[in-house]
Amino acid sequence: MINYSDAIKKRRSIRNYDKKHLEDNHIVKVDKLISKPAIGPFGNKPRFALIEKPAARKQEKVRLGTYGFISNAAYFIGGCIEKSEFSEVDYGYSLERIVLELTRMELGTCWIGGTFKRSDYKAILQTKENEIIPCITPIGYPAKKKTLRERLGLTLTDGSLRNEFGSLFFENDFQTPIVFNPEDKIHQALEAVRLAPSAVNKQPWRVVKQGNKYHFYIFRDKMVSKTKSTDLQKVDLGIALAHFKIIIEENYINGKWHIGDPGIKEGEYLITWIKE
């Protein structure tokens, strides 16, 4: 399989799927993958389930609707997590690690946060009163032909539309951009953050380097609002943290997560990674 760096570059949102069902060997691999989700940086652990759409409709009498944004998907990965201040961060972190493994398996996915019917998934996942379902993803074989909606969606989320490296990552404060060095292994991890998917492609993450510390912040955009169901921009930060940590691991760099607000009076401080 391809390495994680290539998987991050290859991953894209698939909205149109081949109608054939997943092969048995893929179902076994997916079940094994989601049975042991990663524990997020804040210590929360979600639980996931592979849901076959026709079976769910028959057994639970639910439709698993995505309001027309996804075509022909027969399977979904749905999950839930106990609600806490940073539960959406850990959920995004864990599910993105799964998504990248699926990408390495040549399976298509698409992050869905606001265009699905949560009540259907609550019935199947048997969520508890204190649990939320931040996002889901379809899973399957990408269709060879892209729909017009998919082509438009890919245009809106194309990597070329993402912010420049120096507008996201800074040295000491938010006034001094970091100049990208492709040979620097931590810069490679930050570049993976830059390529992370996010709601409406808003890239709400910013990172400030101070010595051996990398402070992650949320810079919120009004186009992506909080709801009672979830905080999508915290999910986005979880995805970004997953990309960072995966490339740190792939480059064999030692470090740890730490909560220690450096007191920079901009953005919304989230967490720090310290190089050891």
pLDDT score recorded for residue 59 = 46
Residue 101 predicted with pLDDT over 60? yes
Interval 139-182: pLDDT, tens: 999 998 766 655 665 555 554 578 999 999 999 999 999 999 99
Return the structure tokens found at 128.
């508890």
| Spatial separation of the C-alpha atoms in residues 90 and 173, rounded to whole Å | 26
| Spatial separation of the C-alpha atoms in residues 178 and 169, rounded to whole Å | 6
Interval 85-97: pLDDT, tens: 999 999 999 999 9
Handedness of CA 73, 160, 246, 41 (dihedral sign): negative
Average pLDDT of the segment spanning 130-145: 92
List the domains of the chain with CATH numbers.
4-148 (3.40.109.10), 156-275 (3.40.109.30)
pLDDT score recorded for residue 4 = 98
What's the mean per-residue pLDDT of the chain? Answer: 90
Interval 2-23: pLDDT, tens: 999 999 999 999 988 998 889 9
Residue 61 predicted with pLDDT over 50? no
pTM (two decimals) = 0.92
pLDDT score recorded for residue 193 = 98
Residue 135 predicted with pLDDT over 50? yes
Interval 42-54: pLDDT, tens: 999 999 999 987 5
pLDDT score recorded for residue 69 = 74
Average pLDDT of the segment spanning 125-146: 91
pLDDT score recorded for residue 58 = 47
pLDDT score recorded for residue 63 = 53
